[in-house]
Structure 1
Amino acid sequence: MASGAVLLVGCSYGSPTGDEPSQAREFTFVAPGGQTRIFYDAPAQRGAVAGLSGESLLEPGATVGVEDFPGQVVVLNIWGAWCGLCREDMPGLQQIHEQMQPSGVTLLGIDIRDDADAARDFMSDRGITYPSIFDNPARSLTALGGFPRNTVPSTIVLDRQHRVAAVFLTAVRVSELLPVVQRIAAEPADAPVAGAASSTPSGSTPGAGAPAEGTG
């Protein structure tokens, strides 16, 4: 059973055949019962994200997505230039992107319900260089298995096998997010996939991504 902060949150591990697959099963978001920070600490209990891609905001006509970063920790951030909390979040996300790139970490934004020109100006004015998907109707979020499209900003940390390791359904400070990213980046690249151990979602680990006071 999940504990504390993740009592009502987990990955759906159903298999159409009832067999245990040898690779990570797809992530399915389950309503968190009011919690805004969810952690899947055990790698074997995480669900994978696949096929999350869309038009590049910074390179119109090109496509960018999670699969462009094999073997990397990918920090997804759902944002919009119209969102005040996003404006507060993004300089810190840029800081994490620059600091953690040598460790195989990248930021990938998902810009929703936005005007492309306004969003590009927004990024340019703030010196934001990490890539973003431009997805006005938020269709790319279907790859996150029922993730709420109206929760902006949100940040999802994927491990090196692109399984969901942490979810923040709120603005998040660098002081809270960076230790979580560092911990996930330090995990062995061959950490077991779902099905290799218990499929019960884990709770948050004290001292390793526990909720901090305040947001933004």
Structure 2
Amino acid sequence: MRLDTLLRRYSTAGMALAAASALLLTGCASDPLADQFREGSGKNYIAGDGTISVYAEGQRGEPITFDGETTGGARFDSADASGKVQVVNFWYAGCAPCRVEAPILEQVHAEQDPGEVSFVGVNVRDQAGTAASFEEAYGVGYPSILDVESGTAQLAFAGPVPPAAVPTTIVLDQEGRVAARVLGQLEEASILSTIIDDLLAEQA
């Protein structure tokens, strides 16, 4: 089932409108993030609105590469996942939507062939101990980069589709180009699965 069909089936009216805008390849949605920052709600994160942006092959720009040290002290390099679909999730432990979507991401991760699909988190705030505790508590089976001090992973994505909220999930195609972005909490495992399936089908 393709993503547009899936969105029509599962989305609320608001989500459907956001998805329709994305599928028209505008790449830009109304952005409430600045308003959230100014309102000073004290929730300690800026949440996205769940907008899903999907980009056709000709709209994906240049490949993105990034690296960093993981919570376990290993070195992650996106070049090692060359030729795979890459799912990149920006998160931190104190973010309530991140906690909600963690099991959803892990469900999709567990269902994928690691020879075809790679998952990595980018932790934007925590030290190693805090991040590792989160991963253990929520059963996260893929690595996360600690990007607090260097910010290099975030900078690598600071182009036309930056991770402007926490959480944000960005999906790269097999050439490392941005193919989709979920701005805010991922609501349905089936949405991410369908994005991945569509990208795998491009190379079939």
Q: TM-score, normalised by structure 1?
A: 0.68
Partner deviation per Cα, 1:107-144 (whole Å, 9 max, x = no partner): 11101111220110110122211011111143321111
- Greater alpha carbon shift after TM alignment, 46-55 vs 121-130: 46-55
CA distance in 2, matches of 1:155, 1:117: 23
> How many residues align structurally?
164
Q: Which runs of 5+ in 2 are unaligned?
A: 1-18, 32-48
2:73 aligned with 1:48, yes or no? no
Corresponding residue of 2:75 = 63
Corresponding residue of 2:96 = 84
CA contact (8 A) 1:49 1:144 kept: no
Corresponding residue of 1:170 = 184
CA gap of 1:140–1:102, structure 2 versus 1, over 3 A, is: closer
Going by fraction, where is helix more abundant, 1 or 2?
A: 2
Partner deviation per Cα, 1:5-32 (whole Å, 9 max, x = no partner): 147844xxxxxxxxxxxxxxxxxxxx53
- Find the residue that maps to 2:132 and give its secondary structure: helix
Question: Following TM superposition, by how much is the alpha carbon of 1:65 offset from its aligned partner in structure 2, in angstroms?
Answer: 2.7
Corresponding residue of 2:30 = 33
CA distance in 2, matches of 1:148, 1:71: 22
Q: Which has the higher contact order (CA 8 A, sep 6+)?
A: 1
Q: TM-score, normalised by structure 2?
A: 0.72
Q: Which runs of 5+ in 1 are unaligned?
A: 11-30, 190-216
- One-letter identity of the residue aligned with 1:145: A
CA gap of 1:103–1:183, structure 2 versus 1, over 3 A, is: farther
CA distance in 1, matches of 2:118, 2:85: 6
CA RMSD of aligned residues (A): 2.3
- One-letter identity of the residue aligned with 1:160: Q
2:154 aligned with 1:144, yes or no? no
Corresponding residue of 2:143 = 131
CA distance in 1, matches of 2:131, 2:58: 37
- Find the residue that maps to 2:119 and give its secondary structure: strand
CA contact (8 A) 1:8 1:33 kept: no
CA distance in 1, matches of 2:163, 2:117: 25
2:85 to 73, 76, 80: 73
Corresponding residue of 2:21 = 5
Corresponding residue of 1:20 = none
CA distance in 2, matches of 1:43, 1:130: 27
